[in-house]
A and B are shown apart, each in its own frame.
Chain A
Amino acid sequence: MIVKIEESGPVVLIEVKEERLDAHNSGELKSQMLNLFEEGKNSIVVDLQEVRFVDSSGLGALVSGFKNASARNGNLKLSGLQPQVKSMFELTRLHRVFEIFPTAQEALASF
């Protein structure tokens, strides 16, 4: 999986550079996030601007990251959801769980 990880002050921005976030590659995103938690980085923005497709495994990886960040008094916020990706969050009611921003800049500024 191709991701770009960038620190912006106390917040880490993970840009997912894949068209799909699914059962094939979502485990890698989970591992990347676990590495950050182990380094004590608990404030995370996951930018999905380039992701056109997300399945239940992709959603599960983000839920796992959200739970880990929250348990460490941090937060995991999302940005750049394409309409069909957003529809999967709505179908599974996860849009009520995550704070979702139009752009990564807005998500970063919200911390």
Chain B
Amino acid sequence: MKEKIEVDIRVPNQTRYLSLIGKIGEEIARTLKKYKGDRNELAYHINIVLTEAMANAIRHANEGDPRKEVHITIAIKQKCLHIRVFDEGQGFDISSLPAPDFEDLDEHGRGVYIIRSLMDRVSYKKYNGGHVLEMVKTLS
């Protein structure tokens, strides 16, 4: 039987929901029947990329406006995990961000690097008046 899962969540544009969304991502990773890798590691990685992507959407794209919302979809299809984080803002072009300088002890600038390191494909596009950050990981 094919394993198809799709979860669609909307939360207010507030960091207090990071933990909830991260945990939902973790639980989805733990339910995957066919994944042969380290399930705990995958769960942790999904938690972290969801947290980083949502925090970017809340603070940068949606500019901390509590009236806005963040929309997240998590889907398993064709042996891939697809995570999409939609914002309602002007966007922040992740492709323009340089890789962090490991020698320079900057307080910021590690989030997108973490996402890129843990996922196989990452893109950021205009969508419906806002933007969508799409992250894909192959589950084989």
Q: Which chain B residues in 9-41 approach chain A with CB under 8 Å?
A: 15-16, 18-19, 22, 40-41
How many A residues have CB within 8 A of the partner chain?
22
Contacts A66-B105, A93-B102 known; A20 to B19 CB distance under 8 Å? yes
Contacts A22-B51, A67-B105 known; A56 to B114 CB distance under 8 Å? yes
Q: With contacts defined as CB atoms under 8 Å apart, how many contacts are there between chain A and chain B in the complex?
A: 66
Contact of B113 among A23, A87, A92 (CB under 8 A): A92
Residues from chain A with a CB closer than 8 A to the CB of B100 are 92
Contact of A55 among B16, B48, B107, B108 (CB under 8 A): B48
A67 to B19, CA, bound (A): 28
Query: Is B52 an interface residue when CB atoms closer than 8 A count as contact?
Result: yes
Task: Determine how close the nearest CB of chain A comes to the CB of B83; give it in whole angstroms.
Answer: 15
Query: Is B62 an interface residue when CB atoms closer than 8 A count as contact?
Result: no
A interface vs B, CB < 8 Å?
20, 22-24, 53, 55-57, 59-61, 63-64, 66-67, 84, 87-88, 91-93, 97
What are some 13 contacts across the A-B interface (CB < 8 A)? A20-B19, A22-B15, A22-B19, A22-B55, A23-B51, A23-B55, A24-B16, A53-B22, A55-B51, A56-B114, A57-B111, A59-B110, A67-B105
